Amino acid sequence: MPADTTNVTVTLSCPDRPGIVHAVSGALAAADGNIVESAQYGSEVTGRFFMRVDAQVGAGLAALQDELAPVAERYGMDLRVFPTGAPTRTLIMVSKEAHCLNDLLFRQRAGLLPIQIPVIVSNHTDLAPLAGFYGVDFVHVPVTANAKDAAEDRLRALIVEHEVDLVVLARYMQILSDRLCTELAGRAINIHHSFLPSFRGARPYAQAHQRGVKLIGATAHYVTADLDEGPIIEQDVVRVEHNHSAAHLAAMGRDVETRTLRQAVAWHAEHRVLLDGHRTIVFR
Amino acid sequence: MPADTTNVTVTLSCPDRPGIVHAVSGALAAADGNIVESAQYGSEVTGRFFMRVDAQVGAGLAALQDELAPVAERYGMDLRVFPTGAPTRTLIMVSKEAHCLNDLLFRQRAGLLPIQIPVIVSNHTDLAPLAGFYGVDFVHVPVTANAKDAAEDRLRALIVEHEVDLVVLARYMQILSDRLCTELAGRAINIHHSFLPSFRGARPYAQAHQRGVKLIGATAHYVTADLDEGPIIEQDVVRVEHNHSAAHLAAMGRDVETRTLRQAVAWHAEHRVLLDGHRTIVFR
Amino acid sequence: MPADTTNVTVTLSCPDRPGIVHAVSGALAAADGNIVESAQYGSEVTGRFFMRVDAQVGAGLAALQDELAPVAERYGMDLRVFPTGAPTRTLIMVSKEAHCLNDLLFRQRAGLLPIQIPVIVSNHTDLAPLAGFYGVDFVHVPVTANAKDAAEDRLRALIVEHEVDLVVLARYMQILSDRLCTELAGRAINIHHSFLPSFRGARPYAQAHQRGVKLIGATAHYVTADLDEGPIIEQDVVRVEHNHSAAHLAAMGRDVETRTLRQAVAWHAEHRVLLDGHRTIVFR
Amino acid sequence: MPADTTNVTVTLSCPDRPGIVHAVSGALAAADGNIVESAQYGSEVTGRFFMRVDAQVGAGLAALQDELAPVAERYGMDLRVFPTGAPTRTLIMVSKEAHCLNDLLFRQRAGLLPIQIPVIVSNHTDLAPLAGFYGVDFVHVPVTANAKDAAEDRLRALIVEHEVDLVVLARYMQILSDRLCTELAGRAINIHHSFLPSFRGARPYAQAHQRGVKLIGATAHYVTADLDEGPIIEQDVVRVEHNHSAAHLAAMGRDVETRTLRQAVAWHAEHRVLLDGHRTIVFR
């Protein structure tokens, strides 16, 4: 390989029309690029076209960007080019529950998640020691009814300061303002429990137990102003039995939350998730 | 084994108090019984106790019933004794979709489901040939707005005539009256699709597709007057991808309906399902 | 869309080098083609490149083939072009067990599998009525130690006569000759049970029961001269419990065989499976 | 409840014959016991009978033991009585890989596993900081070809010193001697990867990748002198795709190892696993 060969990941979406793949692959060829893995999809729901490419580029990332710029212009593309495997700078928000945070920190450290975690933000201090063990800055930002705006401004400042690309709400038990949700559109992931059927109100595991559900699940989704209704990235379930108590169900729910959130973060950080209106395209 | 040895399955439930297992196992011992497999559970939700026993009984089924009668009386038990493996007489109701019926007929024939199917009832005639291939009576009972009562009376007559123990709604697209649901409490099983989140109204697969869900599921439950809200026997899900169309989702939904209903019918017919108020105890 | 617009599926593989996607998408553009869904993959194991495209082609299938021919020539491609959804002509071979055959026939009839089944071949006659119900020719080809060659010649003749694209061994209990396996390379699919750990010799379910395995599985693979060792298309497992007898395990094994084979046949018939030496690329 | 009421878990196995449940439930009744949950199973493989009971005992644990002692004697029972939920004292052995240890420590701390971990033993020092974060003693016991016996003697001493009930080999990469395996029969759990088909020799994930398997799994089992062949407690699998590299497969393998081992340890610590010769009975 030439000295400047770089592995790059390209993602794009644009209104669907003929010639997109030909134009993009032409730009790749012009930059001495070889496709390692790629997928495309034309959405019948929104009429948009989606593409993700992993390629080895002999002329380097900057040259590829130069080749792609006029293509993006011509087709009205939302185009992004990343060095493959470059870690996504991720701010994690937590409250008191440790299960998701512990899993994300462990995997990041073990090299199993292509993220960096420059800072953890919490409205409580319970999880500071865990952050400390992994050597990650932990910032306590209390949220009070009167000072919610100030807390969100503090968060905005941390996002800027740490050049954050992704915010993960890892069982963060405060609701973000509509304005902040809109600002973070497509770059904030939340996890919540899910049930068949669904249960409104407090103590959902107690309700699920009394209803005798046989499956409990979790949904990881992008944050939007519609609470728990953003585009779904990943869902999973676990089977429960009649002899599991409500507390046991809640414990199993934490397990399925943990692995569902982890998977969503991994796919996002590998640039495998593209937004198709209210749905996601996941090029697994 | 003595000449009269019989394999029996005993199920019971009653208000929980000490001594139940001792009393039941005493009756079994008195009837020369040996326990093959058994499970018990005390429900914290309702305060009831549940028990299921598979046993070999040297003195025969009738002798065992004699021994158990005073025990049932003393503890206020809902007690049932079955010859193990004796087929449950099952009436299947269908409309036009064949997937569940085909699966149940095939498994019954192959000896994989301990049921007999004396008769199939439908408000359409589409599935008569399939019934005919398996040599099962097919009765066409049309349902019109004006003649719904008459249709249900016809069904009641068939249940009596064929000594039916279990009614399976295998994608039967008519709603049963509250009165009939109550009559069939605990001996009619329905199957319906389930989603995370749930979708109201028509065309749920189209809604699920537009919402971009990653799992679609099915729920098998006992029929109650509350539509689709009866005690859940079994649930299952299947994973879907962004490139699956709404039609594809519907096809996958039929698969998960098929295997969820089959499992619920099997457990019911093996007397593994007991009602604990609004939930089920499933001694798998 | 122009009058001649056709939906086509293109699959190809060739030695990996830069420019393949650009060349193929150029041919598609020249034939007025629009990509609906596509995936590419460069194998690090064999150094080959794989591509599958679903496209709408304004100029028609023949025009597309004309555009693609010089591309295929230049890159040494194994290239195939199909009308999307055109059914794969499938010969099914069975012995006495009905579960896989019943499932394939039902799905084909219900429009859930893009195959045609012109003929079923068996070394027994047990399954003739099932074939008859679905109106499919059933040919009894007995296999005796002395007349194995004659039986395989009969099979070859049926493959030619019925213009068969795919042979499915749906629990066919005879071993094909090495020569026939070689002739059918990449177009014959077999299903067999799989265990963790694996068991050699007769009565594998009895061995699995005695060993107390917690999972039993099935593997669908292309047929090769190495018995049960061909490229794997799909695998699945089912969870078993200590109270399941060996017979119960065998019944559950049939279920997992059924759904594993069905999935492999569906992916093959949708041209989603490409051979990468001894492995398969499955563009799901 | 009387002041002395205790929740107890009773497990037992003995040669199968009539009257066992009656005798045990009689002893429970005599000690003012109420059964919360119980299961029994007669093994057709070995002719032994197995029972597990969770009960509330008004007369206390010691009184129950007095009542059960003559029953155990009469039936030749292997009988054990535990205070329900009392933590199992668990020694964990590791080498360099952290995934299983991290999971077990986190769950123990979160109250999700009924174990205590008085000490961690390793032939390396890499995982000492993780043990330190959780405040668990970490003992470095190097293993050399010449000093294997000494290392095992050190382990024996630690087992005695810390009153260890269970040894968990959480990716401990040394083989225990036959003698030690025999000493630890039924109280040492190991985890290893599993494949369909299985692969012998070094670098199994590379082999699995080249073979193109679609599932990789893990098996948790009791340690016996037969390497990786002890009674299976739990198995699980994860689905892999053609675009996963061998390294990716290994990472996914670690995930499935983690959750399979965790489940096996939980069931063991809840006294749900009984040995039936070479198989396990798991009263889930």
- pLDDT score, position C172: 97
Task: Tell me if chain C has a CB within 8 Å of the CB of B106.
Answer: yes
Which residue from B minimizes the CA distance to A40? B243
Alpha carbon distance A273, A39 (integer Å): 12
Residue A235 contacts residue A217 (beta carbons within 8 Å): yes
Strand D215-222 with D232-239, pairing? antiparallel
Identify the CATH assignment for A6-83 out of 3.40.50.150, 3.30.70.260, 3.40.50.10470, 3.40.605.10: 3.30.70.260
- pLDDT score, position B2: 54
Where b means 16+ CB within 10 Å and e means fewer, B244-274 reads: bebeebbbbbbbbbbbbbbbbbbbbbbbbbb
Mutant choice from C210, C235, C259 vs D, greatest count of D C-beta within 10 A = C235
Residue D22: its chain B contacts at CB < 8 A?
A: 22, 25-26, 28-29
Under an 8 A CB cutoff, do C21 and A41 touch? no
The yes-or-no verdict on residue A2 having pLDDT over 80 is no
Q: Which of A37, A241, A255 sits opposite D243 (nearest CB)?
A: A37
Task: Tell me if chain A has a CB within 8 Å of the CB of D110.
Answer: yes
The yes-or-no verdict on residue A1 having pLDDT over 90 is no
Under an 8 A CB cutoff, do A251 and D112 touch? yes
Catalytic residue among A228, A236, A255, A276: A228
Residue B283 contacts residue B266 (beta carbons within 8 Å): no
Task: Tell me if chain A has a CB within 8 Å of the CB of D37.
Answer: yes
Task: Tell me if chain B has a CB within 8 Å of the CB of D26.
Answer: yes
Task: Tell me if chain A has a CB within 8 Å of the CB of B200.
Answer: no
The yes-or-no verdict on residue A126 having pLDDT over 90 is yes
Q: Which of D18, D21, D41 sits opposite B21 (nearest CB)?
A: D21
Whether residue A197 is preceded by a cis peptide bond, meaning omega within 30 degrees of 0, is yes
- pLDDT score, position D2: 54
Alpha carbon distance D59, B210 (integer Å): 61
Alpha carbon distance C229, D197 (integer Å): 9
Per residue in B126-183, pLDDT (tens digit) is 999 999 999 999 999 999 988 899 999 999 999 999 999 999 999 999 999 999 999 9
Alpha carbon distance A74, D94 (integer Å): 57
Neighbours of chain B (3+ CB pairs under 8 A): A, C, D
3-class secondary-structure state, position B254 = helix
The closest of D157, D153, D94, D161 to D129, measured between CA atoms, is D94
CA distance A196 to chain B (A): 7
- Asked whether the domain spanning A88-282 has the same topology as the one spanning A6-83, the reply is no
Instruction: Spell out the CATH class of D88-282.
Output: alpha beta
pLDDT band at residue D3, thresholds of 50, 70 and 90? Answer: low
CA distance D163 to chain A (A): 28
Task: Tell me if chain C has a CB within 8 Å of the CB of A38.
Answer: yes
Under an 8 A CB cutoff, do A284 and D99 touch? no
Percent of chain B with pLDDT over 70: 98
Per residue in D187-230, pLDDT (tens digit) is 999 999 988 778 877 788 999 999 999 999 999 999 998 876 89
- pLDDT score, position A3: 55
The closest of B148, B153, B157, B128 to B140, measured between CA atoms, is B128
Catalytic residue among D66, D78, D137, D228: D228
Residue C49: its chain A contacts at CB < 8 A?
A: 35
| pLDDT, average across residues B91-113 | 97
Residue A34: its chain C contacts at CB < 8 A?
A: 16-18, 42
Mutant choice from D40, D53, D272 vs B, greatest count of B C-beta within 10 A = D40
Residues 122-141 of C with CB under 8 A from A: none
- pLDDT score, position D52: 98
Residue B36: its chain D contacts at CB < 8 A?
A: 41-42
Per residue in B245-281, pLDDT (tens digit) is 999 999 999 999 999 999 999 999 999 999 999 999 9
| Residue A228 designated active-site | yes
Tokens of B157: 């007559």
Task: Give the least confident one: A171-180, C1-10, D266-275.
Answer: C1-10
Say how many CB pairs under 8 Å bridge A and B.
Answer: 95
Q: Which of C99, C243, C259 sits opposite B110 (nearest CB)?
A: C99
- pLDDT score, position C197: 79
- Which one has a higher pLDDT value, A199 or C257? C257
Under an 8 A CB cutoff, do D102 and A99 touch? no
Residues 6+ apart with CB under 8 A from A260: A191, A217, A218, A219, A220, A234, A235, A236
Residue D243: its chain A contacts at CB < 8 A?
A: 37
| pLDDT, average across residues D108-112 | 94
Per residue in A221-279, pLDDT (tens digit) is 999 988 768 999 999 999 999 999 999 999 999 999 999 999 999 999 999 999 999 99
Concatenated DSSP letters for chain A? --TT-EEEEEEEEEE--TTHHHHHHHHHHHTTEEEEEEEEEE-TTT-EEEEEEEEEETT-HHHHHHHHHHHHHHHT-EEEEEETTPPEEEEEEE-S--HHHHHHHHHHHTT-S-EEEEEEEESSSTTHHHHHHTT-EEEE----GGGHHHHHHHHHHHHHHTT-SEEEESS--SPPPHHHHHHTTTSEEEEEEEESS---SS-HHHHHHHHT-SEEEEEEEE--SSTT-SPEEEEEEEE--TT--HHHHHHHHHHHHHHHHHHHHHHHHTT-EEEETTEEEE--
For residue A55, the cross-strand partners are A8, A35
- pLDDT score, position C3: 56
pLDDT band at residue C2, thresholds of 50, 70 and 90? Answer: low
Residue D197: its chain C contacts at CB < 8 A?
A: 194, 198, 219, 229
Residue C224: its chain D contacts at CB < 8 A?
A: none
ipTM of the complex: 0.93
Q: Which of B197, B243, B280 sits opposite A198 (nearest CB)?
A: B197
Q: Which of C106, C254, C255 sits opposite B102 (nearest CB)?
A: C106
Residue C248 contacts residue C17 (beta carbons within 8 Å): no
Torsion of CA C260, C265, C268, C269, to 10 degrees: -150
pLDDT band at residue D250, thresholds of 50, 70 and 90? Answer: very high
The yes-or-no verdict on residue C182 having pLDDT over 50 is yes
- pLDDT score, position C47: 96
The yes-or-no verdict on residue B3 having pLDDT over 70 is no
Neighbours of chain D (3+ CB pairs under 8 A): A, B, C
Which residue from B minimizes the CA distance to C113? B251
Residue A2: its chain C contacts at CB < 8 A?
A: none
Concatenated DSSP letters for D228-256? T-SPEEEEEEEE--TT--HHHHHHHHHHH
Give domain limits for chain C: 6-83, 88-282
Under an 8 A CB cutoff, do D22 and B22 touch? yes
Burial of C222 (0-12, 13-18, 19+ CB in 10 A): buried
Per residue in C124-163, pLDDT (tens digit) is 999 999 999 999 999 999 999 888 999 999 999 999 999 9
- pLDDT score, position C6: 93
Where b means 16+ CB within 10 Å and e means fewer, D10-31 reads: bbbbbebebbbbbbbbbbbbeb
**How high does pLDDT run on average in chain A?**
95
CA distance D125 to chain A (A): 17
Main-chain phi, psi angles of A76, to 5 degrees: 65, 45
| pLDDT, average across residues D244-251 | 94
Residue D41: its chain C contacts at CB < 8 A?
A: 242-243
Task: Tell me if chain C has a CB within 8 Å of the CB of D203.
Answer: no
The yes-or-no verdict on residue D1 having pLDDT over 50 is no
